[in-house]
Structure 1
């Protein structure tokens, strides 16, 4: 074949292009044998049918999960696939995730100076220790949303996420009473030194109910690591991904995310189980907990 300016023939390199050319010549009346001889292609190569890409279905699943959960990286997508019953190697998921350009852009975090650190011991059962904190956001009109986050240190369940315009000491203890009625009282609660957690209402509530209060040292959020590790995904996957038009809108979105976190979102630290599923294993298999959870710290 010559180019449009009458230059030297262009070489047809790819096998699919050569097959198309053979079909075109056959359609113009040339025999298959003659067309193959002209193109310089063997009959076996012409009749070859490419095998379907074995990764196409898996890649489609990966893309669908990445579109549904924009802040999920390859590790979380791998756990979601395993949760759905897909047997796949994590390296294959990493490769296909990278080929599709789905890597999550990491946000910069403030570097924490090196200091003497002591690991937190995981409690042995639910309701032994809860961790609490506040996290803030705004609605579209610029008004503040103050969300109380409560996590069970043993099960990693989000015990509660309560978004309000403001939460004072009296409001806080009313929330805790509602949680206690539904779930039972914890033996201890770990918090920072915020005024709501150190106020008279909270101290009185804890004393009357026999609940211990553990206050971390000022400026050391790593001492409340369980709630900090929860607040990160809550901020990244929920608050940063939505534009709340009102407080009621925020409550609907946040409560839906809390349910997803507890019942659908697998955690690597829990062996790929969801917090709700892991909580059930603690009830039925308390003698098979991870070694660090057997430490009697509380």
Structure 2
């Protein structure tokens, strides 16, 4: 059985005993043998504790322990600083990122799991957690990636609505987890616009209350591949958020506005009000007289207050963001076909956040609309 290590006080007492015996004429070897230690241990003890009393030896031992503790603390701090500098670049927000960071520093610095988790303030239970993948996880991931590729401006909430419409039993949280894991995101967040109706009543606007109550229209500029201008007239129903028509031509004057309005009214009926800005195509005498004859009242916004026509401006930003900025039109006819396809998708399939992520006019109830034969 190994001998128990002696304390500092016991060593001092032993040294005093050997000194007394050597003073009585005994040799160091004999005195050490009688004390139960070797002469090498005696010289080592005398070098370390020679000339000290018991209190001084105890104090020296405490200082040695404190010094060793501080050395270990400094070593741990230096190691932690080096680990955080080299092995943990970026923010460790998600549990998966933390698990990867712990595995990396364990491999690099040969640390235990407990110590690596302590450095990163990471729970060992979370580190040992093994995710349970559902049987349809891979297929759902592929479906999310496919939708994100087809609709690059859609976020995970709108993608969730499309998945649920397609028969997937996937909630928003699950889609968001897969969305983040695959590194999907919507670049360049849109700048928010002001509200159309203010709570303090500082700006009173007619609010649509039913279908065909208030329509609004506006113009959007684009161009073909050769640099020639394209002009789009967008017409929406403010209550249903449905795009009633998008007329595409090189130029659109007042007669073009009336032709588009007439074709839509033949299929949808005459609205009570039509909102627009103060452009020459909208304020011309012919347009105002024709609208008055069919029974539609005009609502003109204040000059320079485009936000008052907020629904149409919002739609214009969507068509530019999701279609016009990502397409190259080589001819007028190609632009008319692609824009009409996008309008049909917007009305029947695209989830609208203000409608509870439902499309404005789902396919099952979509009426037959007279096709606008766009004139150049």
TM-score, normalising length from structure 2?
A: 0.57
- Alignment pair present for 1:132 and 2:238: no
Contact 1:129 1:189 in 2 (8 A): yes
- More deviation in 61-70 or 271-280? 271-280
2:203 is the alignment partner of 1:203: no
Q: Determine if the alignment matches structure 1 residue 103 to structure 2 residue 185.
A: yes
Q: Distance in 1 between matches of 2:148 and 2:205?
A: 32
1:47 corresponding residue in structure 2: none
Aligned length: 232
CA distance in 2, matches of 1:243, 1:86: 34
Q: Name the SS of the counterpart of 1:275 in structure 2.
A: coil
Aligned to 2:171: 89
Root mean square deviation, CA, Å? 2.7
Identify if the C-alpha distance between structure 1 residues 277 and 100 changes in structure 2 by more than 3 Å, giving closer, same or farther. Answer: same
Helix, strand or coil for the counterpart of 2:157? helix
Structure of greater relative contact order (alpha carbons < 8 Å, 6+ residues apart): 1
Query: Structure 2 residue aligned with 1:157, among 242, 253, 269?
Result: 242
Post-superposition offset of 1:236 = 1.0
Residue 66 of structure 1: aligned partner = 148
- Cα distance in 1 for residues equivalent to 2:181 and 2:206: 39
1:110-149 correspondence to structure 2 within 5 Å: 118=203, 122-149=207-234
Cα pair 2:156 2:176 within 8 Å, conserved: yes
Shift in Å at residue 178 of structure 1?
A: 1.4
Q: 1:120 to 1:248 in 2, by over 3 A?
A: same
Q: How far apart, CA to CA, are the structure 2 residues paired with 1:188 and 1:257?
A: 26
Is the Cα–Cα contact under 8 Å of residues 257 and 281 in structure 2 kept in the other structure?
Answer: yes
**Structure 1 residue 162, shift from structure 2 partner:** 0.6
CA contact 2:349–2:363 (8 Å) conserved in 1: no
Q: Post-superposition shift, 1:196? A: 0.7
Any residues of structure 2 matched to 1:19-38 within 5 Å, and which? none
- Residue by residue, what CA displacement relative to the aligned partner does 1:22-46 show, whole Å, maximum 9, x if unpaired? xxxxxxxxxxxxxxxxxxxxxxxxx
Instruction: List gaps (5 residues or longer) in structure 2.
Output: 1-102, 104-130, 367-376
What is the 5 A alignment of 1:152-231?
Answer: 152-231=237-316
Whether the 8 Å contact between 1:124 and 1:154 is mirrored in structure 2 is yes
Contact 1:155 1:278 in 2 (8 A): no
The gaps in structure 1 that reach 5 residues or longer are: 1-13, 15-49, 282-298
- Give the Å deviation of 1:237: 1.0
Paired residues of 1:155 and 1:279 also in contact (CA < 8 A): no
Q: Which has the higher helix share?
A: 2
* 2-structure distance, mates of 1:75, 1:120: 31
2:272·2:295 contact (CA, 8 Å) conserved in 1?
A: yes
Q: Distance in 2 between matches of 1:51 and 1:180?
A: 56
Aligned partners of 1:83 and 1:150: how far apart in 2?
27
Cα distance between partner residues in 1 of 2:206 and 2:165:
27
Q: Is the 8 A contact 2:352 2:358 kept in 1?
A: yes
Greater C-alpha radius of gyration: 2
Distance 1:132 1:279 in 2: 26
- Alignment partners' CA distance in 2, 1:262 and 1:111: 22
Q: Deviations over 1:126-164 (max 9, x none)?
A: 211101000010000001110000000111111000111
